[in-house]
Amino acid sequence: MVSRVIPVDTFDLVIFGGTGDLARRKILPGLFRRYCAGQMPPEAKIIGAARSEMDAAEFREMVREAIGEFGSAPQSAGQLDAFLERVFYEAVDAKGDGGWDALKSHLRDDAVRAFYFSVAPSLFGDIAERLNHKGLSTPDSRIVVEKPFGHDLASAKALNATLAQYFDETQIYRIDHYLGKETVQNLMAVRFGNTLFEPLWNAQYVDHIEITVAETVGVGGRGAYYDKSGAMRDMVQNHLMQLLCLIAMEPPAKFEPDAVRDEKLKVIRALDPVEPQDIVRGQYGAGGGEDSYKTHVENDRSRTESFIALKAQISNWRWAGTPFYLRTGKRLRARTSDITVVFKDAPHSIFGADAGRHRNVLSIRLQPNEGMTLDVTIKEPGPGGMRLIDVPLDMAFADALGTDTEAVPDAYERLIMDVIRGNQTLFMRGDEVEAAWAWTDPIIEGWEARGDVPVTYDPGGSGPEDALMLLHRDGRRWREIKV
């Protein structure tokens, strides 16, 4: 299947932090891929901005190297050179006054204007203020801000208020790259494009839902940052809650930004507080030739969790009584993200007790090998009476659709193109972010007040034993984290 590429309007994209890790690993290689796919107009401009003094030629060399290291190979020798001709650089200090006029001279009146804040959140206010005061932003300009969006409710509110001084909510694109993943959007297509699932998508038919985001890596070089954050702030408050919202929300009237975001917000607001016995926090120990978490963060008293599992309950008509189990952690057995919807038993088994217990399970894999599996119960072939087995209807999207996975835009590419298109559907609104902090803050404050210490878990497994007990206690078990 040939994927259809619709070119976006021409644009001037300024990347503050253009020399940083995120720009080099994701943003610039992603833009190059969109250029090769024919989606980025040939006249579009990308302007890097950071404090380092360098000219456009030096920046282009840096971009060439970044694409060589993190991007895909150019399809023709001239493609990368042609792309680099669209790349510029200005030295600008977010906190200073120099360089802003030079930056402004790149911007055209007839192009979409977007400013990507790929810098520490402490600089967001400085940049927003200068864009406004120095006349770089227009009422149609867009700004893109990265996570972490606040550290708690108070800081998120302060950040929202700062940005709101200079930009309207319709101009602010808060990125959560999980929302840019193909399967995450497919989740909405599956739920709202089929008649099959939606009638069953409620507490009457769904026993429970699991959301797992497992990583094999440890904190590595991000130790100092991570130790101030932990799995709850780094993963649950944003990525896992966004997945939870898409799974649990009511059908929006239209697939439009505010219609979708209104429904997500209602889910967050309907979440019950989490009781201490419904949370398990873990920290990885040493093993497999690797150091423990505490060694990585150089703090042998650290109480930060590198793993969390919790049971969330949504108190609304659709979901009352169906728990959502969320878990995420580092140094686990495999790198995998998936959502598992476990349906209830058939109300009456005509096959008798010998047939055993069988349930339909819908598994949605976000990575690796994006796809879906639906376990369906059938008769085991052969003689010997009616024995039942569960077989998977497996759909790896790449196989099923014959899609060239190289041609499918990754999350960042898709989201940047959505910014240029002016489509905010897959970006978090300010009130959503605040509501998510309003739910997570008391949970964090609770364990801090109690002085809870995370349990140590062995690397390479599925996290602490207690996390297994969280489900066992309810007569359930997690889907295995498979390599």
Q: Which residues bind ligand NAP (CB under 6 A)?
A: 16-23, 50-52, 92-95, 118-121, 123, 146-148
Find tokens 């077989």 and name the residue.
391
CA torsion sign for 68, 72, 76, 79 is negative
Q: How many helices (H) and strands (E) does the chain have?
A: 17, 15
Residue 220: CB minimum distance to ligand NAP, A: 11
Q: Which is nearer to ligand NAP, 56 or 200 (CB)?
A: 56
Q: How far is the CB of 369 from ligand NAP (least distance, A)?
A: 22
Residue pair 342/359 in contact (Cβ under 8 Å)? The answer is yes
Residue 228 vs 387, nearer CB to ligand NAP: 228
Residue 87, helix vs strand vs coil? strand
CB 268 within 8 A of CB 319: no
Among the listed residues 151, 239, 296, 348, the single catalytic one is 239
Residue 51 annotated in ligand binding: yes
Q: Are 84 and 63 in contact (CB under 8 A)?
A: yes
In the bound state with ligand NAP, the residue whose beta carbon lies nearer, of 156 and 342, is 156
Looking at residue 150, its amino acid is G
Q: Does 104 appear as a known binding residue?
A: no
95 carries a ligand binding annotation: no
- The response to whether 20 counts as a known ligand-binding position is yes
Would you say 48 or 409 has its CB closer to ligand NAP? Answer: 48
- What residues pair up with 142 in beta bridges, in sequence order? 114
Does the annotation list 37 as a binding residue? no
Cβ distance to ligand NAP smaller for residue 311 or 330: 330
Sheet holding 206-214, edge to edge: 388-396, 371-379, 361-367, 336-343, 206-214, 324-329, 307-312, 279-284, 455-457
Residue nearest to ligand NAP (CB): 20
Residue 21, annotated ligand binder? yes
Closest CA to 234 of 306, 303, 297, 182: 306
Nearest distance from C-beta of residue 216 to ligand NAP, angstroms? 16
**Smallest distance, Å, CB 452 to ligand NAP?**
26
Contact residues for 280 (Cβ-Cβ < 8 A; gap 6+): 307, 308, 309, 310, 455, 463, 464, 466, 467, 469, 470
Q: Closer CB to ligand NAP, residue 22 or residue 395?
A: 22
Tell me the CB-side half-sphere exposure of residue 482, using CA atoms within 13 A. 8
Of 112, 214, 49, residue with least CA distance to 420: 112
Q: Looking at the DSSP assignment, which residues form a beta bridge with residue 282?
A: 307, 455
Rounded-to-integer distance, Cα 324 and Cα 244, Å: 8
48 known ligand binder: no
| Residue carrying structure tokens 């991570």 | 226
Rounded CA gap, 106 and 100, in Å? 10
Residue 114 known to bind ligand: no
Minimum distance from CB of 251 to ligand NAP (Å)? 31
As measured in angstroms, the least distance from the Cβ of 253 to ligand NAP is 32
* 191 three-class SS: helix
272: its two tokens: 């019950």
Q: Supply the minimum distance, in Å, between the C-beta of residue 53 and ligand NAP.
A: 9
The smaller minimum CB distance to ligand NAP, of residues 62 and 372, is found at: 62
Determine whether 296 is an active site residue.
Answer: no
Catalytic residues: 239
Annotated binding site, which residues? Answer: 17-24, 51, 147, 177, 181, 215, 234, 330
Annotated binding site for substrate: 177, 181, 215, 234, 330
